Structure 1
Amino acid sequence: MGWTNKNFWGLCFTFLGMSLSAQELPKTLSEIPPHASYSILVRDLNDKKELISVTPQRTLVSASLMKLVTTATALEVLGHDYQFSTRFWINGPVLNGELNGNLIVEGGGDPTLGSQYFKSQSPEIILSKVLEFLKEQGIERIEGNILVDNSWIKNSRFPSRRLWEDMGNYYGAPPAALTWKDNSFNIGLKSSSQLGQKCDIVEIDPPLKRISITSNVVSASHQNDSAYIYGLPGMRKWEIRGSIPAGINGFIIKGALPYPGMTFASEVAGKVLLQPGIGMQEVTDSGWKSDARLIGEIKSPHLSEIVREINHRSLNLGADHLLLALGKKAGNINLSDWDGGLELIRKYWGKRLTQPYYNNIKDGSGLAPLNTLSSVFLVGMIDYMYNNSPNRDVFKTSLAQSGRSGTLKYVWNDGVLNGKVWGKSGSMQDVMCYSGYVFRQGKSPLAFAIMVNHFGIESREVRKIIEKILEESISG
């Protein structure tokens, strides 16, 4: 049932300048609350006919749809076979199995190192490779330090406009020159069976040195993880607020690892060298290279595989790493890597898309709530990737498939579009967005973007509305 009568909505659509093709607007459009904002465009990729166009130039909070922009740009600029690299150096002689000098780990911005999402990069495999590097040099122990070179990132690790309540949690973990285990750590909480009681911290893995964490989490009747971690590198006192289900011993929440490079160094010292007391130090310049020699290198999977995981699993950390890599590629010495990457994205698509648009982008993942995109930009970009890019197949297969995989596994999963939509979702509070392709049997493919903000109703209701809008727009 709509929010008002058909005539009123017809006047509204005319007033807002909504353009139509030969077919009428989907009836379901009237189910969107009148106070909501939306931007919708569905385009035929062959003849460029617009099946539906409703305020397509309106910019809205896009959430994780920003990952489509970052991954597409990375494929175009860096190449599908691009790899990150982590290098290992020593700067002293080896005598009787002892290195009289330092082991230096040069971070290269690899988001896959020790990641749970890449089997070839598991912590066990990575540490075994480090052991092999040392064995090849005859090194059994170190009379020196482990240095971690963090100079790959120019200026700050942290993006602008990120929410305080996100930054201490795993999904808001910032990139690092040496990212390790998705830059996350686990906190185990024990909740009382009595509601409203404070929960105890029973485990922190890996342990955080020189940081104390206070739990102000309470037990609740729901079954959700509603606990949030508040803390940043440099802060000695962190806090957890919110609630978790009552009566659970060992409820795990995940935080943003404050010093991932030092955690990696600690594991090399304790698990590889069996010297847990060895000195460790972070450095931010490459002055040590003058008397060092390379003993090994670990490369990431190819960018095509990284992009697939980012878009299928909506990995914030990976997307932000790609933005920094774009910033380094841009090479603007007057900008941080964050701003350099954003500038490169703006310039790249500004030269290739013909329809006017306005975007306001702040990071590579879409986690910053001030990121805004428009449907005309998104459709134009994925149209370009399909019709003009040598990376068409890589980009398309990086997307989730409706009813089958990734963030679309439970979307368009029981109707005519089951298995026919390849795309990406984006959501946060009062934000629901989808964009991608529709491949129809015997018909030309479509590009679409449907974005709804400020709806003020249950997210699942908006999701169903969006599903029906796309179904109705292509039914003619």
Structure 2
Amino acid sequence: MRNLVFLFLILCNCNVSAQPLPQRIASAYKKFASDQQLAFGTASLTVLNASTGEVIFTENGNTGLASASTLKTITAATAYHLLGKDFTWETTLGYTGAISGVGTLNGDIIIKGSGDPSLGSDRYDQTKSETILKRWVDAVSRAGIKRLTGRIIADDRLFGTQTMPGGWTWQDMGNYYGAGPSTLTWRENQFDLIFRPGIVGQPAALLRTEPDMSYLKIVNEVTSGKAGTGDNVYVYSAPYSNVVYLRGTYGVDLKKAISASVPDPATDLAQTLKNRLKAVGISAGTIITARELVADKLTFQPDTKILDTHTSPTLEKIVYWFNQKSINLYGEHLVKTIAWKQGKEVTTPEGVSVIKDFWNKKLGIDKNAMNIYDGSGLSPANRITTMSMAQILQSLKKEPWFQLYYESIPVYNNMRVKSGSIGDVIAYAGYQTSANGTPLVFSIMMNNYSGSSSAARQKLFNVLDVLK
């Protein structure tokens, strides 16, 4: 009898394995879509043959859903197309006026940005803040400047004054993942908060910030949470404000820094440079941004002498970390840079419009299938179809830079897949080769699910495992 049961199980397994891939996907998706966690939600899945573009399976493929960070795959692909893998940004340090015989600069020092998202970032050797600051201090010293009578001006005009894309929420924008793009982004526009928890329910002490942000007024309302509750700290601040509120709980057994966004990165950069010059004995005047000068209807002379030009890593290296670590800030820089380089007004809406126009012309994707508001997927207002996302990903296979793009997609669930999650939204998009050697590209999204996110994620994985 045991032998008969064993033979029966083998035959059942063989029958399942022998089923055509579309049938197996359909069966797995049907079970997933009928789960109680989606009783009041919506899901969609599209699977294409990555070589031919043939539709292997689609359900709700033309229904627009919130995509979360899987939208980054489209932003990155568009950047590769329109900017090129070798595109770089430049930041210059220069001065106006003349230097006297005793080393007094009767003029301004100007830091001029072009939207480099990596300036001061620790992700690349040549962009680390200490490396940049040393270069700039050395350049000022070599020029013979010992004293500055004018200002340190951070020229942050290129990206305009609106740093936050439409649809970003108040709960997000003060936190590190909600840092908005700046013409002079610096250290990825974030800083760390170091806490010491106390008795449960009592205040958690803010010990310091790293780096020092003493020019900000930080109001700490964080309390100590129970053991095992972890990080439930939220940072609230508005662009260009100098007041930051900290709310929520910090677990009594937690030992980690909490990262917040910098309200005015250009001011922070100018202040940091001033402090560094002062540390080596070079006195500087006041600091100010071009945004403030324009607001006050003041003008300033362009720099007449360039002291240093810093070139960013190439686009392919930016996109690698953009997708690997899902850096929202990088996506918003790419969108504004796309608008700039296409001769449009340098705003997020113009950049988004260029993206939609590009894919409409290239693949015939209806613009209404890409109802998007940013380049990172952080806005909960974004809506995109799994069919359009899968079609875009499939079209990249023939591009000469595809391997670079492919390697930027993380390996997750033993698949090459970009993940995404925001409130009640989980999504995945990527590439997989099936057991019979068929190359696949897929996009799957679930919106407004209920219950545990970890349980919902595992159910999504159960569907995607069928593609292996």
> TM-score under structure 1 normalisation?
0.85
- SS of residue in 1 equivalent to 2:391: helix
Give the aligned residue type for 2:288.
Q
User: Paired residue for 1:203?
Assistant: 208
Distance in 2, matches of 1:22 and 1:223, equals 43
Partner of residue 370 from structure 2, selected from 359, 368, 387: 359
Distance in 2, matches of 1:468 and 1:115, equals 37
Moved more, 92-101 or 181-190: 92-101
User: Paired residue for 1:6?
Assistant: none
- SS of residue in 1 equivalent to 2:373: coil
What's the offset of the Cα at 1:128? 1.5
Are 2:94 and 2:110, in contact at CA under 8 Å, matched by a contact in 1?
A: yes
Alignment of 1:56-455 (within 5 A): 56-94=61-99, 95-192=101-198, 194-208=199-213, 211-221=216-226, 222-246=228-252, 252-274=257-279, 275=282, 278-284=285-291, 288-290=300-302, 292-333=304-345, 337-354=347-364, 356=366, 358-387=369-398, 389-401=399-411, 408=412, 411=413, 418=414, 421-440=415-434, 443-455=437-449
Give the aligned residue type for 2:319.
V
- SS of residue in 2 equivalent to 1:115: coil
Distance in 2, matches of 1:142 and 1:393, equals 49
- SS of residue in 2 equivalent to 1:65: helix
Moved more, 373-382 or 222-231: 222-231
What's the offset of the Cα at 1:156? 1.4
Q: Residues 203 and 352 (structure 1 numbering): CA distance in 2 closer, same or farther, change over 3 Å?
A: same
- SS of residue in 1 equivalent to 2:369: coil
Distance in 1, matches of 2:396 and 2:209, equals 44
Distance in 2, matches of 1:121 and 1:272, equals 19
What's the offset of the Cα at 1:23? 5.4
Moved more, 44-53 or 255-264: 44-53
Distance in 1, matches of 2:341 and 2:166, equals 20
What's the offset of the Cα at 1:45? 1.8
Distance in 2, matches of 1:163 and 1:279, equals 34
Distance in 2, matches of 1:302 and 1:373, equals 29
User: Paired residue for 2:50?
Assistant: 45
User: Paired residue for 1:14?
Assistant: none
Give the aligned residue type for 1:435.
A
Distance in 2, matches of 1:288 and 1:126, equals 24
Distance in 2, matches of 1:45 and 1:29, equals 23
- SS of residue in 2 equivalent to 1:436: strand
Q: Residues 459 and 294 (structure 1 numbering): CA distance in 2 closer, same or farther, change over 3 Å?
A: same
Are 2:47 and 2:58, in contact at CA under 8 Å, matched by a contact in 1?
A: yes
User: Paired residue for 2:16?
Assistant: none
Q: Deviation string for 1:363-391 (max 9, x for gaps)? A: 1111111111111011010111113x332
Q: Residues 24 and 447 (structure 1 numbering): CA distance in 2 closer, same or farther, change over 3 Å?
A: closer
> TM-score under structure 2 normalisation?
0.87
Are 1:28 and 1:465, in contact at CA under 8 Å, matched by a contact in 2?
A: no
Q: Deviation string for 1:308-335 (max 9, x for gaps)? A: 00000000111111111012123234xx
- SS of residue in 2 equivalent to 1:25: helix
Are 2:154 and 2:290, in contact at CA under 8 Å, matched by a contact in 1?
A: yes
What's the offset of the Cα at 1:185? 1.6
User: Paired residue for 1:9?
Assistant: none
Q: Deviation string for 1:22-48 (max 9, x for gaps)? A: 656133541333332111011112233
Are 2:53 and 2:394, in contact at CA under 8 Å, matched by a contact in 1?
A: no
Q: CA RMSD in A?
A: 2.3
What's the offset of the Cα at 1:210? 5.3
Are 2:113 and 2:156, in contact at CA under 8 Å, matched by a contact in 1?
A: yes
Q: Which runs of 5+ in 1 are unaligned?
A: 1-19, 402-407, 412-417
Give the aligned residue type for 2:340.
K
Are 1:127 and 1:272, in contact at CA under 8 Å, matched by a contact in 2?
A: no
Are 2:129 and 2:187, in contact at CA under 8 Å, matched by a contact in 1?
A: yes
Identity %: 27
Give the aligned residue type for 1:280.
I
Q: Which runs of 5+ in 2 are unaligned?
A: 1-20
Q: Residues 288 and 441 (structure 1 numbering): CA distance in 2 closer, same or farther, change over 3 Å?
A: farther
Q: Deviation string for 1:68-95 (max 9, x for gaps)? A: 1111111110110000110111112223
User: Paired residue for 1:26?
Assistant: 27
More helix by share: 2
Give the aligned residue type for 2:404.
V
Moved more, 77-86 or 222-231: 222-231
Are 1:76 and 1:391, in contact at CA under 8 Å, matched by a contact in 2?
A: no
What's the offset of the Cα at 1:471? 2.2
Give the aligned residue type for 1:150.
D
Are 1:167 and 1:230, in contact at CA under 8 Å, matched by a contact in 2?
A: yes
What's the offset of the Cα at 1:278? 2.9
What's the offset of the Cα at 1:170? 1.0
Q: Deviation string for 1:130-168 (max 9, x for gaps)? A: 123223323233232211111111341221111001111
| 1:470 is the counterpart of 2:464 | yes
Moved more, 162-171 or 23-32: 23-32
Are 2:241 and 2:264, in contact at CA under 8 Å, matched by a contact in 1?
A: no
Are 2:277 and 2:284, in contact at CA under 8 Å, matched by a contact in 1?
A: no
Distance in 1, matches of 2:50 and 2:406, equals 14
Distance in 1, matches of 2:239 and 2:95, equals 28
Give the aligned residue type for 1:78.
L
